[in-house]
């Protein structure tokens, strides 16, 4: 897909790959990891979790090295205020990592900030409870209306889409997952988020299809002042829902808006 319109609906992620963390044998020395990553690895209680964490971060560094042409030693990562990782000095290289048990998804691109999320396909017995906490009313109703055999996949589609959007924007759970709608329909390709008086346009897409997981990608493509679009002043402070006033204390936690 081409063009600058927010409606040009394809995600720029030339690298989008799954990594089987439990058979990732191409593990060079852990020295590839930063001090922070090594410290996190040491903090895991279970060896399997430590091994998967190391495998996912080594795989991410290998993919970033291939994509940028940088040597491993030149890859310096930093984290935004809410934990979104980025490649220091290479603002144009966007990436996102997600893991679900023994499987990881890595997406790298060069346009808008990326979010990737995967979940292993599995029965979700508490889907309705989780949906009530995290989905919009319309998404909850659409889920409930599906035949039972379609519900797990649809739930995980909606969940990973929301996570991918949150990860693209990078503010994590500061932005309520109920404040924006990603829908359950398979062909949904764009999402609109209202944050700090701005409208954020994200392009949505599925990760490459696999039988054992559900994966979603989001790319934050464009930002617009709400005043421009709605003909009304933005709220100034953070609010996840344009119809609500900013929450108490919201102004104290301003959200950086890019691109
Ligand atoms: C941390 C969060 C960004 C994703 O967590 P997650 O889906 O449990 O885990 P994933 O494996 O998909 O993603 C973790 C990776 O995201 C990246 N990440 C961490 N914080 C991030 C942030 N603020 N923005 C973007 N990416 C972030 C890191 O690369 C991290 O990998 P690491 O822990 O190995 O360093 C956040 O959205 C969260 O805590 N979610 C909890 C679940 C929830 O309630 N979701 C509601 C959605 S409906």
Give the CATH number of the domain where residue 56 resides.
3.90.470.20
Residue 246 · residue 179 · CB < 8 Å:
no
**pLDDT exceeds cutoff 60 at 240:** no
Cis peptide before 259 (omega within 30 of 0): yes
Angle between helices 148-169 and 127-134 (to 10 degrees): 40
Q: Is residue 8 part of a domain?
A: no
Is 99 near ligand 1, meaning CB less than 6 Å away?
yes
- Cα distance between residue 169 and residue 180, in whole Å: 13
Tell whether 246 is covered by a domain: no
For residue 231, the CA-to-ligand 1 centroid distance in Å is 34
CB of 111 closer than 8 Å to CB of 220: no
In a domain, 164, yes or no: yes
Across all residues in the chain, what is the average pLDDT? 86
Q: Is 172 in the pocket of ligand 1 (CB under 6 A)?
A: yes
pLDDT of amino acid 230: 53
What average pLDDT does range 126-138 have in this prediction? Answer: 98
Ligand 1: residue whose CA is nearest its atom 12: 98
- Tell me what the mean pLDDT of segment 66-88 comes to: 94
Residue 172 Cα to ligand 1 midpoint, Å, equals: 7
94 lines ligand 1 (CB under 6 A): no
* Mutational test site, ligand 1, from 163, 171, 213, 255, max ligand atoms within 8 Å of CB: 163
Q: What is the pLDDT of residue 236?
A: 31
Residue at token pair 């609109």: 192
Kindly state whether residue 147 falls inside one of the protein's structural domains.
yes
Residue 10 maps to a domain: no
Through-space distance between the first and last CA atoms of the chain, rounded to whole angstroms: 19
Residue 158 belongs to some domain of the structure? yes
For the chain, what is the domain count? 1
Res 123 pLDDT > 80: yes
Does residue 75 lie within any of the structural domains?
Answer: yes
pLDDT at 196: 85
Q: Which residues are CB-neighbours of 120 under 8 A, at least 6 positions away? A: 100, 101, 103, 212, 213
Q: What is the pLDDT of residue 119?
A: 98
Report how far residue 216's alpha carbon sits from residue 9's, in angstroms, rounded to the nearest whole number: 14
Q: Is residue 141 part of a domain?
A: yes
Tell me, using a 6 A CB cutoff, whether residue 159 lines ligand 1.
yes
- Weakest mean pLDDT among 46-60, 79-93, 113-127, 234-248: 234-248
For residue 244, name the pLDDT band (cuts at 50, 70, 90): very low
Domain that holds residue 229: 15-239
Confidence of residue 184 (pLDDT cuts 50, 70, 90): very high
């Amino acid at each position: 897909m081409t063009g600058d319109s927010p409606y040009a609906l394809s995600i720029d992620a030339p690298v989008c790959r799954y990594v089987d963390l439990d058979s990732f044998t191409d593990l060079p020395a852990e020295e590839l990891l930063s001090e922070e990553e090594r410290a996190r690895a040491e903090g895991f209680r279970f060896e399997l979790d430590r091994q998967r964490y190391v495998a996912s971060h080594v795989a991410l560094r290998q993919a970033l090295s291939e994509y940028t042409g940088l040597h491993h030693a030149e890859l310096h990562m930093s984290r935004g205020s809410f934990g979104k990782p980025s490649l220091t000095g290479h603002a144009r290289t966007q990436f996102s990592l997600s893991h679900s048990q023994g499987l990881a998804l890595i997406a790298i691109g060069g346009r808008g900030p990326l979010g990737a999320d995967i979940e292993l396909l599995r029965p979700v017995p508490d889907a309705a409870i989780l949906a009530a906490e995290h989905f919009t009313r319309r998404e909850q109703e659409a889920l409930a209306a599906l035949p039972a055999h379609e519900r797990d996949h649809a739930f995980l589609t909606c969940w990973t889409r929301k996570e991918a959007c949150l990860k693209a924007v990078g503010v994590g759970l500061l932005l309520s997952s109920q404040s924006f709608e990603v829908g359950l329909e398979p062909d949904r390709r764009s999402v609109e988020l209202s944050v700090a008086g701005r409208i954020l346009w994200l392009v949505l897409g599925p990760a490459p299809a696999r039988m054992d997981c559900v994966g979603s990608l989001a790319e934050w493509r464009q930002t617009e002042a709400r005043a421009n679009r709605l003909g009304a002043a933005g709220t100034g402070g953070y609010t996840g829902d344009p119809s609500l006033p900013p929450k108490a204390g919201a102004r104290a936690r301003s959200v950086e808006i890019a691109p």
